[in-house]
Amino acid sequence: MQRGAVGCIWLYALASVLLPLGLFGLHALGPRWFFPALLPDSLSLEPLLALIGNPRTQAALGLSAQVALLVTGLAVLIGYPAARALTFAPLVGRGVILAVLFLPTVIPPIAIGIGLNSLMLQLGLAGTLIGVCIVHLIPVLPYVILTLSSMLSRYDRHYEEQAQVLGAGAWQVWWLVTLPMSLPALAVAALFAFLISWSEYLFTALIGGGRVITLPVLLFALVAGGNPTTLAGVALLIVAVPMLAILLASRLLGGGPQVVGVR
Amino acid sequence: MTTLTMHNLTLRYPRQATATLADLSLAVASGELVVLLGTSGSGKSTLLRLIAGLLEPTAGDIRFDGQSVRALPAHRREAVLMFQKAYLFPFLSVADNIRFGLRVRGVAREQQRIAVQQMLALVELEGLECRFPAQLSGGQQQRVALARALVTQPRVLLLDEPFSSLDTSVRRSLQAAVRRIQRETGVTTVLVTHDLEEALSMADRVALLLDGRIAAYGTPQQVYTRPPTLAAARFLGITTFVAGTLHGCQLTTAAGVWVLGAASACAPAEPPRPAVVAIRPEQITLHPTRPADLPNCVLGQVQEQSYRGDVIEYLLKVAGLPEAVRVRRPTSDAPDPIGPEVWLHLPPAALWEVRAG
C-alpha cells in the first residue's frame, strides 16, 4: 500500500520534472543532437559554460536576482505586520480582507496585467526595475501573508508576555523574543516570495516592456530564436537557483530548535 | 520586602453582563504567600494579570508598599508572573533564559554569571546551564522558569497554577521547593490554584475567589473549618446545611432544637431570626444507640455508604432535613458496623452560621 503510494509519487516526479529536466540537460550538454539519433553524439560542458559567460545571460541572471531579492525583502516587510494584524488585532471584516488579499491568485494575471501596464505608464514606473518589483508583489504577497499568518496563529503570545514581566520593553521584546521566535516562519515566507518572483514571466514582460530582461523574459525571447542548446541552458539556470534556495532553506530550518516556539 | 494591596479592583469587559472582578480588595503582607483558590473562570488568573500589569483594571487600584503601580507598564512593575507552562525561550540555553531579566536591564556580564549560578543552586539544577529547554523535563523547566523569575529580585512573585501540568510526584517536590525558596527569599507571593489540598498545604493565607469576589480570606485552618458563606462552604466540600430560627445559641429546625457554638459566643439579647448553619462531614459522629448526655442528636437511616480508603462516607436520611447528611468517618477508627439506623451527633462547637451568597 505504502510502497504503491511512493511509486506513484516517483512516477509523478519523473513525468513532471525529471524527464523534462533530463531532456533539457541532454540538450544543454549535447549541441549536436539531430533527428534520428536517440542520444546526442557527444556531451560537453562547453556550451553551458559559454552560455554562463555570455554577458546577456549574466545581465539577466543579475537582474533576476536583484528583482527576486528586492521583492522578497519588500514582501516580508509588508507581509509580516499585515499577517500579525490579521492574526492578532481585533479586526472587523477579517474575512473580507482575506478575500480581497487572495483576489490576485484567483484572477488570471493577463486580465489585470494590461491595466497594470497603463497604470505603471502613468506613474512613470513602466520599464523600471522598481515598477517590476511592485507588480511582482501582487502574486507574491498573498502567499507570504498566508504562510506567516498560518504560522502566527499557532504562535503563543505568552512568550512575549513572559518577556514583558521579566522587564523587557517593547523593542526588547521584539528583538529578543518575537523576531527569533518568528525566524522559521519568516524564512519559509521569504523562500516562497523569492521563488514566485524568480519564475514570474508575464508581469515582468508586461511592465518591464522589454527593458527589464530577467531570465524568464530572456528564455521566451530565445524560444523565437530556436536554438535548443541555448534554450535548454537558460531553462536549467532558471531551475538551478530555486533548487539551491530550497536545499539551503531545508538545511537551515531542518536542524534548528526554533520550531518549538509553535504551540 | 513589599506589601501588596488591591483596592476595590473591578474589571468589566464591554458587552459582558457581569464583571469578571467585582470591587475586590485584598491585602498581602510583606513576605507572605497567599494562595488564590477558585474554580476555573472565577477570575483568579485575571487578577494575577492585573497585578503584573498585563491587563488594565476598569476601576480600583493596585499598590506596592502603599504606592500605586497602575501607571507603571508591565516591564517596569517588578512583578514577575509565572504561567502554567514554563514558557522558556526555546532558542536560549538554561543560563541565557535565567539571565534574561538581567540582560534587558543592562546588568554587567560578570554579575549576570554570578546571579545565574546562585539561582541554579537555589532551584537545585547546578550543571544544567548549557542545556536547552527541549532537553529538560517538565519539572526542570518550571524550576528554570522560577529561577528566571527570581533572578531580578522582583517585588512580587505571581504564580499561575505552575504545578498543574506536572505528574503528582514531580508536583509534590516542586511545591515543596517553591515553599522553601519563597521562605528563603522572602518574596511576597500570590499563587493561583484550583487544588484545595495545594492551597491549604502551601499558603500562609488562603483567599477564596468565587465569581470575581473574595468569598473567604484567612489562614488555611480558618478558611477550611469556618467558611463564612454558603457558596464558600460548598466549594470547600460541605454539603450539610440546616436552616432554622436562631435565638441566642438555640437553633430551632425541623429536625429538633439544636445548640450551637461555644456558650460565650451567644448573644441572647438578639431577637429570633432565620439562619443557616453548616457542619463539616468529618465532624459528625455516629452512634449505634442514642448517646445519653450529648446534645444535638438525631436519628438517621443509612442510604448509601462508600469506602474511600482513608474514610468511609455515609449518606444518611434524617427526618425533617431536605437533603441527606454526608458523614465521613476515618477507617482507622475501626468503626462499629453501622446498622440501617444510626444516631448522629453534631457537636455544638462544630456548627457555625453561614451567610447566604
A83-92, A134-143, B287-296: range with highest mean pLDDT: A134-143
Distance from CA of B153 to the nearest CA of A (A): 10
What pLDDT score does A103 carry? 84
Is residue A255 pLDDT above 60, yes or no? no
What pLDDT score does A257 carry? 41
Instruction: Please tell me the least confidently modeled range out of A51-60, A131-140, B30-39, B274-283.
Output: A51-60
What's chain B's average pLDDT? 90
- Return the half-sphere exposure (C-beta side, CA atoms, 13 A cut-off) of residue B28: 28
Give the CA dihedral B10, A163, B164, B154, nearest 10 degrees. Answer: -70
- pLDDT class for A24, splitting at 50, 70, 90? confident
What pLDDT score does A258 carry? 43
What pLDDT score does B336 carry? 66
What does the pLDDT look like over B132-182, one tens digit per residue? 999 999 999 999 999 999 999 999 999 999 998 888 899 999 999 999 999
In chain B, the residue whose alpha carbon lies closest to the alpha carbon of A156 is B87
- Length of chain B as a residue count: 357
What pLDDT score does A260 carry? 39
Is residue A79 pLDDT above 70, yes or no? yes
**ipTM of the complex, rounded to two decimals:** 0.85
Mutate to test the interface with B, among A155, A165, A179 (most CBs of B within 10 A): A165
Burial of B216 (0-12, 13-18, 19+ CB in 10 A): buried
What pLDDT score does B268 carry? 65
What's chain A's average pLDDT? 84
Taking residue B108's Cβ as centre, other Cβ atoms within 10 Å add up to 9
What pLDDT score does B267 carry? 64
Contact residues on chain B for A164, CB-CB shorter than 8 A: 54, 74-75
What does the pLDDT look like over B236-257, one tens digit per residue? 989 999 999 988 888 888 888 8
C-beta atoms of B85 and A177 within 8 A: no
Q: Which of B79, B89, B132 sits opposite A165 (nearest CB)?
A: B79
What pLDDT score does A261 carry? 41
How many beta-carbon pairs below 8 A join chains A and B? 71
The Cα A75–Cα A245 span in angstroms is 17
Contact residues on chain A for B101, CB-CB shorter than 8 A: 166-167
Locate the DSSP E strands across chain A.
none
The distance from CA A248 to its chain's CA centroid, rounded to whole angstroms, is: 14
C-beta atoms of B104 and A165 within 8 A: no
Run of H or E residues at B188? strand B188-193
Contact residues on chain B for A154, CB-CB shorter than 8 A: none
Mutate to test the interface with B, among A157, A166, A181, A182 (most CBs of B within 10 A): A166
Instruction: Please tell me the least confidently modeled range out of A257-261, B52-56, B59-63.
Output: A257-261
C-beta atoms of A181 and B91 within 8 A: yes
Beta carbons of B326 and B306 less than 8 angstroms apart: no
Q: Which of B83, B85, B101 sits opposite A167 (nearest CB)?
A: B101
- pLDDT class for A244, splitting at 50, 70, 90? confident
Query: Average pLDDT in the B259-273 region?
Result: 71
What pLDDT score does A162 carry? 96
